[in-house]
Amino acid sequence: MVGDSTAQRRLRGPRWWFAAASLLIVAGVPLFCLLWRQWVNEAQSCANCRSFMRNALRAYSADHGGWFPFGGKDEWDSLAKCIGDNPVHVFTSHELAQKAEAHWKATGTLSEEVCCYRYNEGLRDDDPTDMVIAYCGRPTRWECREHYVGKLGRPCLMTTGIWEWKSELEFQELLARTHTFLAERRAKARHR
């Protein structure tokens, strides 16, 4: 009988561990998915930081005759002109914030490696309202307005001063229109 109770205890032991392991797996998968989603979201810009970036660009244009920053060695160098007293992290994603801060302190500018945005130099705040000033460098998921949540596209800062989410097709059309507008402006300036 003693042997039977020991054998029964041995059988219960592995069953208990199997149940505990199964429970950890069942609970762990959703937790992993939640953490993965958080990590993916950290790699993109956030709506709050974008609002500070917009304010910095608008303040710069107000102090420079309506012009947004231009004339840097590249688009990120031009964009960096409006950092001033603004925190560097609002010009990039949370994932790149520390790297951008270190780069800014070392060089006084931004670069493609530390900034998740692309920037169109040469626009004014009174240009047509369908011009794209800045946009996320890669398609991302929109985190605002319920009917867009989870859909891929790009947050775009328009000359209206508002960040708008555009589907990738819509974004490409607006970007092409913006580049054509800027090319025509540069051509007119050369002929003067």
pLDDT digits (tens, 9 = 90+) for 110-124: 999 999 899 999 999
Q: Which burial class, exposed, middle or buried, applies to 74 when counting CB atoms under 10 A from its CB (0-12, 13-18, 19+)?
A: middle
The band of 85, judged by pLDDT with boundaries at 50, 70 and 90, is confident
Q: Which burial class, exposed, middle or buried, applies to 14 when counting CB atoms under 10 A from its CB (0-12, 13-18, 19+)?
A: exposed
Query: Using one digit for the tens of pLDDT, what is the confidence trace for 89-141?
Result: 888 888 888 999 999 999 999 999 999 899 999 999 999 999 999 999 888 77
Q: Would you list the domain boundaries of the chain?
A: 1-42, 46-190
Query: What pTM does this model have?
Result: 0.72
Whether 158 and 143 have beta carbons less than 8 Å apart is answered as: no
Report pLDDT for 151. 72
Report pLDDT for 129. 94
Nearest Cα neighbor of 74 from 121, 135, 108 is: 121
Structure tokens at 66: 């309506």
Query: Using one digit for the tens of pLDDT, what is the confidence trace for 50-72?
Result: 888 899 999 999 999 999 999 99
Report pLDDT for 18. 62
* Residue 62 C-alpha from the chain's centroid: 25
Looking at residues 11-32, what average pLDDT do you find? 57
Looking at residues 6-26, what average pLDDT do you find? 58
**CA atoms of 163 and 58, how far apart (whole Å):** 12
The band of 39, judged by pLDDT with boundaries at 50, 70 and 90, is very low
Those residues with Cβ within 8 angstroms of residue 116's Cβ, 6 or more apart along the chain or in another chain? 43, 44, 45, 92, 93, 96, 136, 137, 138
For the chain, report the end-to-end CA distance as a whole number of angstroms. 106
